[in-house]
Structure 1
Amino acid sequence: MKIDIPHYVRGILDRLIDNGYEAYIVGGCIRDILLKKHPEDWDVTTSALPEEVIKIFNDKTVVNTGEKYGTVTVINGDGKVEVTTFRKEGDYSDGRHPDWVSFGNNIEDDLRRRDFTVNSMAWNPIKGIVDPFGGEEDIAKGTIRTVGNPLHRFSEDGLRMMRAVRFASNLNFTIVDETLEAIKYMAASIKNISMERIREEFFKIIVGTNPKYGLNLLLDTRLMDFILPELLITIGFQQNNPYHDMDVFHHTLCVLEKTPPVLHIRLAALFHDIGKPYCYTEDEEGIGHFYGHNKKSVQIAEQILKRLKSPNKLIRKVSILVEHHMRYYNSNERYEIKKLICEVGKDNIFDLLSLQKADAMCKNKEGLIDNAHNMEKTVKEIISNNEPLCLQDLAINGEDLMKSGLKPGIDMGKALNELLNMVIKNPELNNKETLLTIALNKWLSAKCNERF
């Protein structure tokens, strides 16, 4: 099989082989090549010891990124490649790291320690593909299977359970029964994994090609119970509302899969209605309502994201989108649309519109999708015209008003906000001379009259 690899990666393979060592590209890059995808990362495994690799590449930049585990990174102008010595491993007493590592000279022993068959293949130009555990066949079948006993693999590192879900959902593969049942049996052990590691795998599922499938797998395997228990209450929670024909959970999945694969938008989609079960009321006709659910959803979303030790900037972006996701306006409500742009910020408004369009596509409300698209057109027009939206967009400021005689304080703040409301409704008023004239006539004249 012909495998096309970048010249800098091939150069590393060739130099190791020319110096008398075995060397292979290995792991995920082989999987991606077989799936006709371009690998994002390239890994090489070799019989050379770390100090030997450093010596062989003494004309390159070589970084010691894990010498204890046999890994150094070779860097040149075209890219970087992790080069790891063949190794065997002991048990994983801490649930993450092997108790011991011994270096060897057998590629099959090295492949045996890896997590899934689809990641346990190697290739070099001499032997071609080395696949002792049937990874190529599992790729052809579209299946995820552990190398060896799944209970043993997951006891070594519980995060591998989430990795199985991630690979299955992002590749649209199925998890074989033995591996799936092992995840269900060991799901509770995910509690022993650090939140940071859980977060990274969870986020990769959320921004993947099939997040709906991924969440259903997390639910089926019981991993959801320990990763995102707050979502469980939405399952089967009927909305009893003519605009919704799905329960809260399935509506959420629908919105999630219709948003672009941008992390904060996908997370906002996941959490936008998570507060609904806590805000449910029925009117006299038995129709369900969820007043204030956006605020409750923000509260729960922030709680979850903080538990996952997410960056504050990400939490803020998600909160803004969740809080304002119900703010739909008709295209002729330019005043309200401008206020919304100012509240969420130009950096967030189009992300909010993406969420709103996805939400509209998952409701039964006639005209809502057209409304969302028309609102987007209006937003683009407002921004393109550079129409004033916020106080900083006014052609005058507090200093200008003070120079004209208005004293600083509450009155000045009220005056500026009233002027802003005027120019939001009538952008043509936004020039310094006009606004000062309005201010002089409206407030300064009034102040003068008060003195007499």
Structure 2
Amino acid sequence: MPKLFIQAKPVLEKIEQAGFQAYFVGGAVRDYLLNKQISDVDIATSATPAEIKEIFPKTVDVGIEHGTILVIFKGIPYEVTTFRTESEYADFRRPSRVEFIRSLEDDLKRRDFTMNAIAMNRNFTIIDPYLGKAAIENQQIRTVGRPEDRFQEDALRMMRAVRFVSQLSFSIERTTYQGLSDHGFLLEKIAVERILAEFNKLLAGENKTEAFKILRETGIYQFLPGFKGCGHVLAEYEGLDTAGLKELIENWTLLVHLLKPADIDSFLRSWKMSAKQMKQIKKYVFYLNRRLQGSLNKIDMFHAGLETTLSLEKIFCVLTECPEEAHDTDQIESVYQSLPIHALKELAVDGNDLIQWSARKAGPWIKEVLLFALEGVLEQKAANEKEAIREWLCRCNLI
């Protein structure tokens, strides 16, 4: 039994000693049955938040309106949530009203997929009213009850279903699959940030190619920012061997390259990405285009950096359908390490030197001349020494 369950067992025992029910639920139970590593555990209970606060001296109200209390037990935080039912989902994401109940089975009934509607008691006995264990054994994603009910309650569950295909290499049960086709339009009701979180997890999965196929065949892709009318791009992605692209930035770079949006900034902003992520992706796309035109030169490698250069080589291999081992990464590292400098601050001259040598006022010209000096040093036209750089700039009539 995983250590996290054993550590948390006394929490369940204390709740039961107070006269209530308590169980392990959700992803931790699913991953335990899949023999996957467990990072945390969630607990469901018949006790109300107020009753939980009476049982444990240290608690934090993290989502009390939805029945969730953070219990601090022996220095370890545990999310403890009261059994509940949920009323109409007015925004296809959040219930209009939450009602606390005392029934575990009714609590599990409101969950998304049968594989996530399994509980385990303090004796580590499985409680499985919706046959989630069988779904896991059959490697199948199936909604609890009718797909249209679950997807209309929370449209993000459709992206979760496809994400689980990528992460677990499961298939989607027939009626659930049809539900994706019928209700994909509801994703337009969901905050883009939540869709992005699921899509990023999808990109990190081992079976992302199959996930892309499902997005295309069900038509869900049309409701993803910037993907409308781009089913052919998804088909192209499916035909590529992307298994070697492990980093999120690599996968987004490949997608942007294939999509070729008219305005990369607008496309990335439509996904509500952070400015940092946008800047990084645009940098990768820029140097990928240069790599596709030929090997990156020393100046490109300097500005791109070693990590980016190596990632670009992997993407290049995917696009050109050549084995990654055909490209000598050791040689790339060797060339990069041989550069005279690896950061602009290592350049032996600065703007003050240029002003002193030229007697000119400060202005945009300084940046241009410094970049020229940098390229000269990288191309070994001048040593990275003040006098050597000064002599070279004089010969080029720049100072």
Q: TM-score, normalised by structure 2?
A: 0.89
Q: CA separation of 1:63/1:423 partners in 2, compared to 1, >3 Å: closer, same or farther?
A: same
1:338-349 equivalence runs, <5 A: 338-344=298-304, 346=305, 349=306
Query: Matches of 2:293 and 2:226 in 1, distance apart?
Result: 37
Equivalent-residue separation in structure 1 for 2:73 and 2:333 (angstroms): 44
- Relative distance call for 1:323 and 1:77 in structure 2 (3 A) is farther
Q: Does the Cα contact within 8 Å between 1:337 and 1:379 map onto a contact in 2?
A: no
Match of 2:82 among 77, 81, 85: 85
- Of residues 263, 274, 291, the one that matches 2:248 is 263
Partner in structure 1 of residue 143 of structure 2: 146
The letter for the 2-side match of 1:311 is S
Task: Identify the residue that residue 284 of structure 2 maps to in structure 1.
Answer: 321
Mapped contact 2:9–2:122 kept (Cα < 8 A): no
Query: What amino acid is aligned across from residue 432 of structure 1 in structure 2?
Result: K
Distance 1:151 1:234 in 2: 24
3-state secondary structure, aligned to 2:93: coil
Aligned to 1:426: 380
**Which amino acid in 1 is paired with 2:377?**
V
Q: Does residue 304 of structure 2 align to residue 351 of structure 1?
A: no
Residue 27 of structure 1 contacts residue 121 of structure 1 at CA under 8 Å; is this kept in 2?
Answer: yes
Q: Deviations over 1:178-204 (max 9, x none)?
A: 111112111112211121222211121
Query: Per-residue CA shift, 1:112-140, capped at 9, x if unaligned?
Result: 11111000001113471110000000000
CA–CA distance in 1 between the matches of 2:183 and 2:230? 23
Alignment equivalent of 1:252, drawn from 237, 242, 247: 237
**CA deviation map 1:145-173 (0-9, x unaligned):** 11111111111111111111111221111
Indicate the residue corresponding to 1:283 in structure 2. none
Q: Which whole-Å CA distance do the structure 1 matches of 2:75 and 2:46 have between them?
A: 24
8 Å Cα contact 1:211-1:256 kept in structure 2: no
Q: 1:380 aligns with which of 333, 340, 344?
A: 333
Tell me the equivalent position of 1:292: none
With over 3 angstroms needed to count, the CA separation of the structure-2 counterparts of 1:327 and 1:440, relative to structure 1, is: closer
1:29 aligned residue: 28
- Given candidates 221, 230, 241, the residue that maps to 1:224 is 221
Q: CA deviation at 1:404?
A: 4.0
CA contact (8 A) 1:118 1:135 kept: yes
Q: Deviations over 1:243-262 (max 9, x none)?
A: xxxxx654434557234332
Shift of 1:431: 1.6
2-structure distance, mates of 1:233, 1:32:
34
Deviation at 1:301, TM superposition (A): 4.0
Where do 1:145-224 residues align within 5 Å?
145-224=142-221
Cα separation, 2, equivalents of 1:421 and 1:264: 27
Distance 1:411 1:325, change over 3 A: closer
SS in 2 for 1:178: helix
**1:52-103: CA deviation from partner (whole Å, max 9, x where unpaired):** 1112110x3x211121211111235754221001112222222222232222
> Are the structure 2 counterparts of residues 394 and 93 from structure 1 closer, same or farther at C-alpha, using a change threshold of 3 Å?
closer
Aligned partners of 1:329 and 1:167: how far apart in 2?
A: 33
Percent identity (aligned)? 31
Letter of the 1:67 partner, please give it: I
Counterpart residue number, 1:39: 38
**Is the 1:8–1:78 Cα contact (8 Å) retained in structure 2?**
no
Where does residue 320 of structure 2 map in the other structure? 363
Distance 1:114 1:413 in 2: 58
Taking the TM superposition and a 5 Å limit, the aligned residue runs for 1:55-74 are: 55-58=54-57, 60=58, 62-74=59-71
> Aligned in 2, Cα 1:420/1:166: closer, same or farther, shift over 3 Å?
closer
The answer to which of 309-318 and 13-22 deviates more is 13-22
- Residue number in structure 2 paired with 1:394: 347
Q: Secondary structure at the match of 1:5?
A: helix
Amino acid at match of 2:340: E
Look up the match of 1:281: none
Q: 1:427 to 1:329 in 2, by over 3 A?
A: farther
Tell me how far apart the structure 1 counterparts of residues 364 and 44 of structure 2 sit (CA, whole Å).
69
Residues of 2 paired with 1:382 and 1:14: CA distance?
61
- Inter-CA distance 153–54: structure 2 relative to 1 (3 Å threshold): same
Offset at 1:399? Answer: 1.7
* Residue aligned with 1:257, SS: coil
Alignment root-mean-square deviation, CA: 2.9
What is the distance in 2 between the residues matched to 1:4 and 1:411? Answer: 63
Contact 2:20-2:46 at 8 Å conserved across structures: yes
SS at match of 2:290: coil
**Of 320-329 and 385-394, the range deviating more from structure 2:** 385-394
TM-superposition CA deviations, 1:390-422 (whole Å, max 9, x none): 654321223224334543457766654443333
Pairwise CA distance, 1:205: 1.0
TM norm structure 1: 0.79
Unaligned segments of structure 2, at least 5 residues:
none
The aligned amino acid for 2:348 is: A
Q: 1:151 to 1:15 in 2, by over 3 A?
A: same
In the alignment, is the contact (CA less than 8 A) between 2:23 and 2:45 conserved in 1? yes
CA distance in 1, matches of 2:99, 2:52: 17
Contact 2:162 2:215 in 1 (8 A): yes
Shift of 1:427: 7.5
Q: Contact 1:259/1:265 (CA < 8 Å) preserved in 2?
A: no
Instruction: Write the mapping of 1:298-317 to structure 2, written as runs, cut at 5 A.
Output: 299-317=262-280
Separation (CA, whole Å) in 1 of partners of 2:382 and 2:79: 60
SS at 1:423 equivalent: helix
Count of equivalent residues: 398
Following superposition, the deviation at residue 224 of structure 1 comes to 0.6
Measure the CA separation in 1 of the matches of 2:228 and 2:244. Answer: 19
1:300 and 1:219, CA in 2 relative to 1: closer, same or farther beyond 3 A?
farther
The DSSP-based 3-state class of the residue aligned with 1:189 is helix
1:435 maps to 2:389:
yes
